[in-house]
Amino acid sequence: MKSFYLLSLLSILSGSSFATHLIGGEITYEYINTTADGDERYMVTVHLYADCDGVSLADEIALGAYLNSSDKSLNQVIEMRLSYKGIVDLSCGISEEISRNMCVEQGVYQKIISLSPYANGYTLNYQSCCRNSSENLTQSSGTPDQGFDLRTTISTSVKNRSTYSEYIRFACVGDTTYWDLYDIDPDGDSVVYTPLRPYTGGTTANPRPFPAARLSAPKSVTYNAGYSATHPFGASETYTLDNNILEFTATETGQYDLAFLVEEYRNGILISSRNVEAAIIAFVCSMDYNRNTPYDLQASQFSHWQTQLKWRNCDNQVDKYEVFRREDKEINWLT
């Protein structure tokens, strides 16, 4: 059977032509150790998501590491090779009718870097063009031309590990969807998500700009009329973020770009921040589509009174599951 990539599906959903490339991404890092000469070593990871039918993910990208000084001067260029490329498993919680027509590619870039201690810390930055076409962002002459600008701050005085999550989600048109953005922080820090206007970087003429000598302030994307950071589905749609749980309802099909400012606090002190580029793809679900069905549910019985249940947590569809049990020969179910 012929397969259709995300581009084809979204073109059908929206009735418009979609160009193809980046859909989401972020930069995370993990403290490794301190060298004998006092430098701090980190594993830096860049996650990028793209349309399979678009421009291939680059084999190598370049990040700039900038001092958080008044002039944001370039400290070093970090050249990172593609360490992993694969297709994102979209089958979790998605009907086969939909999932077989979608294809999102994930690219992971990793490298160990060394940073000299600096009181104000550093900012890592990656810029690239271009985004996939979306319903809420403008595009010139029908061609997507808004790029990506990913940033994360590192404090060399704090040993920290930032948390990574997948930020591509799917939703049924007309249904209220809950998305728990927060993953357990490996260091026990408090993490706060805030809606953010996505950043743009790179141009069609210079799609992967080499890090500049100075890091300028981020430039925000341009929205179509009626859309904003707090109303990515339009002014009349439901979109609230409370206690890191996103609640939204999309009434039209298509891809919607959104972003978050992710701030990490330790003992009430801000130790790191980054922007996350995300996307929600809304489609019409069939009448018999059941989003609450556990995916890959398996039961293992250890004894006559204990059973272990395992399933894949499709957290892009439901916020929680309830388990019911019934005694042998009984008709009533208990939670």
Reply yes or no on whether the pLDDT at 270 is more than 80: yes
Backbone angles phi, psi at 66, to 5 degrees: -115, 140
Give the pLDDT of residue 179.
84
Comparison of pLDDT for 137 and 334, the residue scoring more: 137
Measure the CA–CA gap between 55 and 49, rounded to whole angstroms: 11
Count of domains in the chain?
A: 1
Give the sign of the dihedral formed by CA 100, CA 10, CA 87, CA 182.
negative
Give the pLDDT of residue 189.
93
- Residue 250 has a CB neighbour count (10 Å cut-off) of 25
As to burial, measured by CB atoms within 10 angstroms (0-12 exposed, 13-18 middle, 19+ buried), residue 81 is exposed
The single residue listed with the structure tokens 């298509």 is 254
Which neighbouring-strand residues pair with 127?
A: 149
Strands (E), 120-242: 122-128, 148-154, 168-172, 176-180, 190-196, 199-200, 219-220, 238-242
Query: Residue 87 in contact with residue 104, Cβ under 8 Å?
Result: yes
Own/partner contacts of 76-81, CB < 8 Å, gap of 24 or more, are 76/113, 77/210, 77/211, 78/44, 78/111, 78/113, 78/124, 79/111, 80/44, 80/46, 80/109, 80/110, 80/111, 81/109, 81/111
Amino acid at 90: L
Q: Is residue 333 part of a domain?
A: no
What is the DSSP-derived secondary structure letter of residue 223? B
Reply yes or no on whether the pLDDT at 318 is more than 90: no
> What's the 3-state SS for 89-154?
CCCCCCCHHHHCCCCEEEEEEEEEEEECCCCCCEEEEEEECCECCCCCECCECCECCCCEEEEEEE
Q: Is residue 39 part of a domain?
A: yes
DSSP 75-90: EEEEEEEEEEEEE---
Q: Mean of the per-residue pLDDT values for the chain?
A: 83
- Residue 135 has a CB neighbour count (10 Å cut-off) of 22
pLDDT, one tens digit per residue, over 41-99 is 999 999 999 988 777 899 999 999 999 999 999 999 999 999 999 988 776 656 666 66
Look at residues 160, 78, 75 and name the one whose alpha carbon lies nearest to residue 122: 75
Reply yes or no on whether the pLDDT at 137 is more than 90: yes
Give the pLDDT of residue 20.
44
pLDDT, one tens digit per residue, over 191-202 is 999 999 999 998
Give the pLDDT of residue 311.
66
Q: Is residue 319 part of a domain?
A: no
The domain containing residue 102 runs over which residues? Answer: 6-283
Tokens, residue 135 = 């319903």
Look at residues 225, 221, 226, 224 and name the one whose alpha carbon lies nearest to residue 259: 221
pLDDT, one tens digit per residue, over 213-226 is 999 999 999 999 99
Measure the CA–CA gap between 177 and 193, rounded to whole angstroms: 17
Q: Is residue 112 part of a domain?
A: yes
Q: Is residue 181 part of a domain?
A: yes
Q: Is residue 12 part of a domain?
A: yes
Give the pLDDT of residue 93.
59
Q: Is residue 118 part of a domain?
A: yes
Q: Is residue 290 part of a domain?
A: no
Measure the CA–CA gap between 325 and 47, rounded to whole angstroms: 41
